[in-house]
A and B are shown apart, each in its own frame.
Chain A
Amino acid sequence: MSRLGQVRKPIYPIALLYIAPLFACLPFTAYADACRPGDQAVALPAEASIYSSDSLLESTPSRSRPNETVCVDSATLARSSRSLTENPVEPVRAYLASAPEVPLSVRREYINRTGEPSPSEEIAPSTRARVPASDPVRETTRPRLSSVNRSTLLELDPSASCGGINLPPLPPRVAPNPEHSSEPIPDISVPGVPAGPDEEEPSEPTQSTPPGGTSLGGATSGSIPSDLLPHLERLSANDRRSEFYGSLIERRNELRESALADTQVLQGNWQEAPLDEMESRFTRARDSLSEQSAQVSLGKSRLSSGEQLRFSRQLQSASERAEIARQFTRTLQDRITRENERASLAGKNPVMNFLLVPDKTRNPLSRSSDLELLFGKSRDAAAATTADGLAQRLVMLQGLDSSARQRALEQLQLSEPISFTLPSGQSVDIPLLHNGYILGGGKTGLDCSSFVSDALPADIRKGTFTTWDFRTMWAYRRTGVPPRDPRYEEKRLSQVLEVSKAFDALDLYRGDEPAVGDLLVHRLPWETTGHVFVVREWHRDTKIASVIEASQSAGTIREREFPLSLDDPSRGKLRLIRPGLMLMRIRPVQQRVCTFRRASDRAPASVGAETATAAAAARPGTPYRGGAD
């Protein structure tokens, strides 16, 4: 890069910092009339960032987004400042505790769950609101505005039921009584509770929304206090993401336990092996692994060519490890022989015979310092899911004779039998050991997408996706138009676009922040690598996200810290988000008897219902209807 280029590069971001606020007012003027009468349209300028989200949509036609404007009524705005320091969960708890019509199970569930704020509750900010940097209460206001906004724009359909639990008709208005929240709640039978699953689909409410509250149409005549609705909605959304995240953690733990169990099974087969037999076992492992590597590389199977290549390389790497281990074992044997001869000549006992009997507290393969370097010292296979752990298992398995190998294979959990058709026409079955990652899944493994998609709610679980696919989904959700690159087959594109409806596409460069269970996709159109993480924790101050991922290269599930900013930490809040990040949040699912809808999403008199439905489906926070939209 030229010297001039190095000097010029920082000028653009600085210029953008000055220019960006000038354009920020445009959405305000353009969409100020999108709000309901009486609401105030608050256009919130983008935070100063040199990385516009539009840069991610390099090949995508840019389109304005009306819903960037936040509509807030005056009462809500007043309440928002008052509730800054309040616990958002408390009003819900208080309400549920004081509403005798609510079944005990529901009330207990909410009260138990909200007894202490979940991580997501603490870190989950609102997703859409953007507040001017000059706002003195910016940091605290930001998480509220969107929720408060929703409180004025949401409606609850009749016969509300969340998470599959039927709620009875709610009272007209119950004043929250915090004192009741700590008292034991009597189990009250509720007459006239709707049948729930067998209930008819709720129809469009016909009555008007009462001021300051939300309507409950259909069979109910009461209203839920409007200030509770955003909290209920957040709890519902957080529950869905927490469930998703919990599933991921469960999968990861299962995987580690399986890898550890496999390692112990194989180590048991090597525990009693004398040193002289180890050399022959390493030789057998080397030859067998090398042969299998060639067969996997050349054969045809149900695996993709890239995945075959990966397994082939793993087998070859293990073969090399077996050869090095054989050499180390040979060296050790020679050394023992020399020492024993010397001891014999001196009339002493053999000094290194203890090495021939492996210590049961140690790794049976690590009988010298060299072998220890290769296979590790401890029997504890904490690193069982690493590449080294896998190589060790491969060497141990293929070093066994055929009968012992078959017995061991029957006990292994992370072993995928794959049939390969060789160029000669011969078919061979090769048990591929793995660390849990198999592209395409298989019977015993999972891949990056299946790791995520298996844990997704059933209504979204429709296929496997690359980071390109996730980027396409994100771009489609942001713009309504699929990007031109990459060029998909028609069937694949329709699948990707269909599944994209299950996500909200959030924009980190416009103030949105990650929450637990969000998909964090890192992919730049002009770069070659990408990845998808699931957020497990978000540190706002440091802009570091703790993530969990299924890594193809690592071959397993791992957790790590992923800094969202590449700037120096000393810059504090001025640190800018790194380019290429897309945040996708699972949309709340639409329950059969529990529907959240924005009042503003309803069709105006002059607009058809279909248009309103499409607009509602495209907005973040709108419940996903399982592909119905």
Chain B
Amino acid sequence: MRTFFWLMGIAVGLSAGEGAVFCQEKSSSALVVKNTFTRPEDVLAAFLNYDEQGYIWAGMSDLSRSALTNWQESPASETFYRYAKRTLGKTTTVSASEVTIPVTWTVTEHRDGFGTQLALPKDGRYQVSFRLKKESDGRWRIQAPTAGSYLPVLRLK
């Protein structure tokens, strides 16, 4: 019986940890007004959720940009990917105030605003290693990649 409660406790704990990210991804609103996240994974999840809606490609809000990133300007990308599957890698702690989280997308489409189809990566995977930094206000924000080098990845529809 005690083992059962132990397992239940572990299961609840795990689901709570994952849920923080999952809920953010399933949130009805992707627009982030304030950064109230305590974990870097949550910040990244909010960013990815915002991006997959097409909001970064369509013109990133300064509100969300300053809340989630340290970017000084909004990305200005002509093209974007669509993805079918996304995988968040393991968080690597670089220092007390810096972590990296790799993200891999299985992309299915690469196109621009003209509707032109562009070449996909050979293995169909697009990988970005996000570096998040804890700022003086105690909030985690995305430090890398830079705004100029980030290519938006939209959800497949």
For the complex formed, measure the closest distance between the CB of A546 and the CB atoms of chain B, giving whole angstroms. 14
What is the 8 Å Cβ interface bit string for chain A, positions 343-374, against chain B (1 contact, 0 not)? 00000000000000000000000000000011
Which residues in chain B, 22-38, are within 8 Å of chain A measured between CB atoms?
Answer: 29-31, 33-34
Q: Is A529 an interface residue when CB atoms closer than 8 A count as contact?
A: yes
B113 contacts partner chain A, Cβ-Cβ < 8 Å: yes
- For residue A560, CB closer than 8 A to chain B, the reply is yes
B111, CB-defined interface residue at 8 Å: yes
Query: Are A306 and B115 CB-contacts (below 8 A) given A313-B55, A373-B33, A529-B79?
Result: yes
* Stretch touching chain A among B9-17, B57-65, B89-97, B136-144: B57-65
- The listed residue with most A CB atoms (<10 A of its CB), out of B34, B61, B62, is B61
Of residues 421 through 444 on chain A, the ones whose CB sits less than 8 Å from some CB of chain B are: 435, 439
A310 within 8 A of B: yes
Contacts of A321 in B (CB 8 A): 31, 61
- B110 pairs with A528, CB closer than 8 A: yes
Residue of A311, A374, A528 near B79 (CB, 8 A) is: A528
Count residues of chain A with CB under 8 A from any CB of chain B.
Answer: 42
How many pairs of residues, A versus B, come closer than 8 Å at their CB atoms?
105
Docked-complex contact A553 and B75, CB < 8 angstroms: yes
Query: Complex formed: what's the CA distance from A75 to B112 in Å?
Result: 54
Interface membership of A391, Cβ < 8 A? yes
**Inter-subunit contact B76/A310 (CB<8 Å):** no
Q: Is A555 interfacial (CB-CB < 8 Å)?
A: yes
* Interface size bracket, B side: 20 to 34
* Residues of chain B with a CB closer than 8 A to A529's CB: 77-79, 151
Chain A residues with Cβ below 8 Å from B118 are: 486, 528
Inside 8 A of B112's CB, which chain A residues have their CB?
306, 466
Residue A414 is within 8 A (CB to CB) of chain B in the complex: no
In the complex, B104 has a CB within 8 A of chain A: no
Cα(A317)–Cα(B65), bound, Å:
14
**Does B87 count as interface, using CB distance less than 8 angstroms?**
no
The answer to whether A317 and B79 have CB atoms under 8 Å apart is no
With both beta carbons as reference points, the residue of chain B lying nearest to A387 in the complex is identified as B59
Q: Kindly state the separation between the CA atoms of A323 and B30 in the bound complex, as whole angstroms.
A: 12
User: Residues of A contacting B115 with CB < 8 Å?
Assistant: 304-306
B61 cross-chain contacts in A, Cβ below 8 A: 317, 321, 387-388, 391
Between B61, B75, B78, B151, the greatest number of chain A beta carbons within 10 A of the residue's beta carbon is seen for: B78
Residues B76 and A313 in contact, CB atoms below 8 Å apart: no
B85-126: contact bitstring with A at CB < 8 Å (1 yes, 0 no)? 000000000000000000000000011111110100000000
B62/A317 in contact, CB under 8 A: no
What does the 1/0 interface line of A444-456 toward B look like (CB < 8 Å)? 0000100000000
Inter-chain contacts of A598 with B (CB < 8 A): none
Contact A551 B76 (CB under 8 A): yes
Distance of B81 from chain A, by nearest CB (Å): 8
B31 touching A320, Cβ below 8 Å: yes
Pick from B29, B33, B79, B114: contact of A304, CB below 8 A: B114
A146 interface hit (Cβ, 8 Å): no
A531 to chain B, nearest CB (A): 7
List of B residues within 8 angstroms of A486 by Cβ: 116, 118
Closest 9 CB pairs of A and B: A313-B58, A306-B113, A387-B59, A313-B54, A553-B76, A551-B76, A320-B31, A555-B59, A310-B58
| Extra A-B contacts (5), CB below 8 Å, given A312-B54, A549-B76 | A313-B53, A317-B58, A374-B63, A529-B78, A554-B74
B residues bordering A, Cβ < 8 Å?
A: 29-31, 33-34, 53-63, 73-79, 110-116, 118, 151
Residues of A at under 8 Å CB distance from B?
304-307, 309-314, 316-317, 320-321, 323-324, 373-374, 383, 386-388, 390-391, 435, 439, 448, 466-468, 486, 528-531, 549, 551-555, 560
